[in-house]
Amino acid sequence: MDPTTLIAPSSPLGYPAPYWFLVAFKVLGFTLHMIPMHIWYAGVLLAMLLHWRGGEAGRQLSRRLMQPMPVLIALGINFGIVPLLFTQVAYYKVFYPATILMAWPWVSIILLLTLAYYGVYIYVAGLRAEGAMIARWRRAIGWVTAGLFLLIGFLFSNAFSLMTNVRAWPELWLRESVGGAPLGTALNTEDPTFWPRWLMMFALAWTTTAVFILVDAEWFAHQEGPAYRTTARRVALIISTIGVLGFAFTGSWYVFGTWPEELREKMFQGPMRALTALTALSPGASWLLIFWQWRRGGTRMRAAATAAVHVLALGLNAISRQVVQNAELSRFLDVTAEPVRLQWSPLILFLVLFVLGLGIVAWMLGRLALIGSPSESG
């Protein structure tokens, strides 16, 4: 079966804004989403490991990692709405079929996320009530939560790799359907790109978590002594090293082991060559900065610079993913070729509210800056 016959016709409504606008917000939103998402993706597992095998210093670090987790999860879920929204606008022809083919695993993310989120709250409530002697059952919940986040990542990678793996749709569909209606039980695990993509995001998550530990130590760990900051820098370096090595391995596997020849040619030619190289090397920049601070000591400005460099690396990663996604899809459809019926006034109103919203958030954070860190009593 020709998989292109499964691609829906264009919406008669067209895009409500130019493609570049939609994709810019998609990439921006995904970059913002990745920051907190990475911290819970790798951070919860790391916190459990540190509590288990990290000694006194590790437990202290584990506690500091877990305490802001409820807020980070809330922000991450919220930031995730933007890329999902614009994915559905610009990539609807592949998003809906892919998620319908794996509907049960896709919908199960909601249940898994709810359980994981409450798991984090239960663990953090234990930290506040019981301190370092957190009860065994809460630790067990912490481990389960870490597993749930990994599973959620596994399912997300399945969905988003299946979006571009249009070639696999006919087989997945015909194998698991009744009267032409899919049962929604498919997974994209036979796609060779799936495994390195899933693991690459996990490896990148370790690098982000390392930067977070560093920033937290320099900016927010007022109550902790200098020994804590030294430990934090050492742990950040170890984690960042694991993450960068993992990223290099899975990235090489992905690029050289699974990309078709024409995609490799596209990504290694002309201006794309620079983008590919920067994307591959940029996590190493934050690793170098962490290494430097481990050797020379950290300051607030150094930590902030590391965070800025890392956010740039994540942004590059998001841009490259977008370029690769479009290149993979170009064999089946051209997402840039849809007609545009520009919605001027809602677009302008959105942008005005966006700026106003940022202003109000800045005002609120400004008020907090005057008083310091949050209450520990909550």
Residues 38, 20: Cα–Cα separation, whole Å: 26
**Is 167:3 a contact under the CB 8 Å cutoff?**
yes
Among 170, 263, 304, 336, indicate the residue that binds other proteins (CB under 8 A). 170
Among 133, 178, 274, 369, indicate the residue that binds other proteins (CB under 8 A). 178
Among 24, 28, 49, 109, indicate the residue that binds other proteins (CB under 8 A). 109
The DSSP H or E segment spanning 334 is: none
Q: Is residue 339 close enough to count as binding other proteins by CB under 8 A?
A: no
- Tell me the closest approach of the beta carbon of residue 303 to other proteins, in angstroms: 22
Q: Is residue 129 close enough to count as binding other proteins by CB under 8 A?
A: no
Q: Is residue 342 close enough to count as binding other proteins by CB under 8 A?
A: no
Q: Is residue 340 close enough to count as binding other proteins by CB under 8 A?
A: no
Number of residues binding to other proteins, judged by CB under 8 A: 79
At 177 the three-state DSSP class reads strand
State which amino acid sits at residue 220: F
Q: Is residue 372 close enough to count as binding other proteins by CB under 8 A?
A: yes
Q: Is residue 37 close enough to count as binding other proteins by CB under 8 A?
A: no
At 178 the three-state DSSP class reads strand
Q: Is residue 101 close enough to count as binding other proteins by CB under 8 A?
A: yes
Among 53, 133, 136, 179, indicate the residue that binds other proteins (CB under 8 A). 179
Q: How many CA atoms lie within 13 A of 213 on its CB side?
A: 37
Q: Is residue 369 close enough to count as binding other proteins by CB under 8 A?
A: no
Per CB under 8 A, which of residues 212..271 are in contact with other proteins?
Answer: none
Among 43, 97, 243, 315, indicate the residue that binds other proteins (CB under 8 A). 97
Residue among 108 and 330 whose Cβ is closer to other proteins: 108
Among 30, 40, 41, 106, indicate the residue that binds other proteins (CB under 8 A). 106
Cα separations in angstroms, 190 against 167, 252, 322? 12, 19, 22
Q: Is residue 114 close enough to count as binding other proteins by CB under 8 A?
A: yes
Residues in the chain: 378
Q: In this structure, what is the dihedral angle of CA atoms 147, 191, 80, 7, given to the nearest 10 degrees?
A: -150
Q: Is residue 5 close enough to count as binding other proteins by CB under 8 A?
A: yes
- Tell me the closest approach of the beta carbon of residue 148 to other proteins, in angstroms: 13
Print the binding letters for residues 67-96 with other proteins: x by CB under 8 A, - otherwise: ---xx--xx-xx-xxx-xxx-xx--x--xx
- Tell me the closest approach of the beta carbon of residue 309 to other proteins, in angstroms: 25
Binding segment (CB under 8 A) for other proteins, from list 99-107, 193-201, 214-222, 323-331: 99-107
Among 25, 123, 149, 294, indicate the residue that binds other proteins (CB under 8 A). 25
Task: Please report the sign of the dihedral spanned by the C-alpha atoms of residue 365, residue 367, residue 369, residue 372.
Answer: negative
Residue with tokens 């400005």: 301
Residue among 184 and 284 whose Cβ is closer to other proteins: 184
Binding segment (CB under 8 A) for other proteins, from list 34-42, 280-288, 328-336, 361-369: 361-369
Residues 140, 146: Cα–Cα separation, whole Å: 10
Residue 363: exposed, middle, or buried by beta-carbon count in 10 A (0-12, 13-18, 19+)? exposed
- Tell me the closest approach of the beta carbon of residue 75 to other proteins, in angstroms: 6
**Is 106:42 a contact under the CB 8 Å cutoff?**
no
Q: Where are the alpha helices (DSSP H) in the chain?
A: 19-53, 55-66, 69-90, 92-101, 103-130, 136-164, 169-175, 194-215, 226-257, 261-267, 270-296, 300-329, 344-371
- Tell me the closest approach of the beta carbon of residue 137 to other proteins, in angstroms: 19
- Tell me the closest approach of the beta carbon of residue 124 to other proteins, in angstroms: 11
**Is 150:202 a contact under the CB 8 Å cutoff?**
yes
Angle CA(303)–CA(279)–CA(188) in degrees, nearest 5? Answer: 115
Q: Is residue 174 close enough to count as binding other proteins by CB under 8 A?
A: yes
